[in-house]
Structure 1
Amino acid sequence: MNIVQQSHEILTETGMMRTSVYRPDQAGQFPSLIFYSEIFQETAPISRAAAMMAGHGFVVFVPEIFHELNPIGTVLAYDEAGKDKGNQDKFNKPLENHDTDTQALINFAREQVYCTANIGAMGVCIGGHLAFRAALNPDISGAFCLYPTDIHSNTLPCLPNNDSLTRIADIRCELVMVFGKQDPHVPPQGRKLIYQHLEQAQSQFSWLEVNAQHAFMRDEGERFDPALAVQMYLQAVSFFQRTLK
């Protein structure tokens, strides 16, 4: 289906957060997805990914995940300077602030006439972690987490015992966890640790490891795997069609 795109400024506990909204261009109500970006914020590949999901019948919200740390509208380049700034932002924003951002997005979605009450989370890289983190919120009905970083290593700032790995048992919705076997950011021992914690918590989850590098979904650069990306989009659409009924 055709889609439309809008931009909104959403008030959070830590300031205004610009959020792009991609949604079907037709009347009716549709389930929502919060799509969390990489450290570079809403780049062209992230916009295209959001549009892809919206075209399958979802309202997709793409927030600026580091809105407190940058001027509104900041998009970092896929270069060394952009990577350095994005990683700096990643280590300067506590997980608790991401939690309140998620709640602000949920509140906003439920105020929109084109949204149903059902909301899921999806993301890539740190965004995969933030989708996983969003699943701690009882209003999230499913999370599709693509190569989520920093869960196994507990390297993002947070209060004691509030890291995402420690809190796995608090997640009540279904998860899909996707990792590239050639991804140095989440090595085999890290993947094993996450899997063990999910098993111990008796979580509802699906687990997929593919022969791919980090950022294989990003449709720019040499690591992009188009065939795997299409497969992941189809799996994500099927997952959210089921969990966000």
Structure 2
Amino acid sequence: MKVTREVHDVETLTGTMRTYLYRPDREGIFPSLIFYSEIFQHTGPISRLATLLAGHGFVVLVPEVFHELNPISTVLGYDDAGKDKGNEDKHTKPLESHDSDTVALVDFARAQEFCSSQIGAIGVCIGGHLAFRAALNPDVRGAFCLYATDLHSNTLPCEAGNQTLMRCGDIQGELQLVFGRQDPHVPVEGRELIYRELNAQECNFSWTEVNAEHAFMRDEGDRYDPELSLLMCQKAVAFFKRVLL
């Protein structure tokens, strides 16, 4: 399918959230995917991946995950300055604000005439964490989480007892988690902790580890693995077609 792109400003409890919408360029009603980006927000690699997903029959919403902390349309560079600012934002915005963003995106999607009521979440890096977090919302039926950071370390700001992994037993939908074995941000001890907790809470989840570094899906830079990226895209599309259609 060909894909069309739109830009919307979604109102949230913490301000206006610029959201990029990708959808099939044809008549129809399609399930929605909330695609949570890396700390750098709506970069070229994120846009291209969103286009790919939309071309398989989904409405893809890419919010600016740190909209409260930056001017609208801010895109951080894949350099030290961008990394430092993105990490500062990550450790500033509380998870509760991400939760209210998710509610706003679900409401927005369901108000569109071309969206069905079926909603999933996908994300990379901090976005993988936010996709996992989104699955705490009962309106999100499934989450595909790529090298999700900060799950094992509980280092994102939130109210006491509201850490994401601690609450995984509240998730009603299905999870798929993907990690690179050579990812220093989620070392083997961290992956083992996440796996144990998901098992202990009897979550409905699938688990994939590949021989890759962090950000292997990003089609810029020397960590990109085109073969694995294609395989994970195929897994994500198959997953969402099963749980959302």
**What interval of TM-score do these two structures reach, taking the shorter chain for normalisation?**
over 0.9
- Aligned residue in 2 for 1:93: 93
Q: State the secondary structure of the residue aligned to 2:19.
A: strand
- Aligned residue in 1 for 2:182: 182
Structure 1 residues 1-245: aligned runs within 5 Å: 1-245=1-245
TM-score after normalising by structure 1: 1.00
- Cα-Cα RMSD: 0.3
Q: Provide the rounded CA distance (Å) in 1 between the counterparts of 2:200 and 2:137.
A: 20
Offset of residue 132 of structure 1: 0.1
Q: Provide the rounded CA distance (Å) in 2 between the counterparts of 1:23 and 1:45.
A: 17
**Deviation per CA, 1:202-238, whole angstroms, max 9, x where unpaired?**
1110000000000000000000000000000000000
Q: Provide the rounded CA distance (Å) in 2 between the counterparts of 1:204 and 1:176.
A: 9
Q: Alignment length, in residue pairs?
A: 245
Q: Provide the rounded CA distance (Å) in 2 between the counterparts of 1:145 and 1:200.
A: 19
Q: State the secondary structure of the residue aligned to 2:91.
A: helix
Matched to 1:33, the amino acid is L
Matched to 1:128, the amino acid is G
Offset of residue 162 of structure 1: 0.1
Matched to 1:12, the amino acid is T
Matched to 1:44, the amino acid is G
Q: State the secondary structure of the residue aligned to 2:165.
A: coil
Matched to 1:234, the amino acid is Q
Q: Provide the rounded CA distance (Å) in 2 between the counterparts of 1:222 and 1:130.
A: 25
Q: State the secondary structure of the residue aligned to 2:163.
A: coil
Q: Provide the rounded CA distance (Å) in 1 between the counterparts of 2:233 and 2:45.
A: 14
Matched to 1:221, the amino acid is G
Q: State the secondary structure of the residue aligned to 1:52.
A: helix
Identity of aligned residues (%): 65
**Deviation per CA, 1:168-204, whole angstroms, max 9, x where unpaired?**
1001100000000000000000000000000001111
Please, which runs of 5 or more residues in structure 1 have no aligned partner?
none
Q: State the secondary structure of the residue aligned to 2:111.
A: coil
Offset of residue 165 of structure 1: 1.1
Matched to 1:69, the amino acid is L
Q: Provide the rounded CA distance (Å) in 2 between the counterparts of 1:56 and 1:168.
A: 29
Q: State the secondary structure of the residue aligned to 1:150.
A: coil
Offset of residue 56 of structure 1: 0.2
Moved over 3 A (4+): none
Q: State the secondary structure of the residue aligned to 1:41.
A: coil
TM-score after normalising by structure 2: 1.00
Q: Provide the rounded CA distance (Å) in 2 between the counterparts of 1:81 and 1:23.
A: 32
Q: Provide the rounded CA distance (Å) in 1 between the counterparts of 2:186 and 2:103.
A: 27
Q: Provide the rounded CA distance (Å) in 1 between the counterparts of 2:173 and 2:185.
A: 25
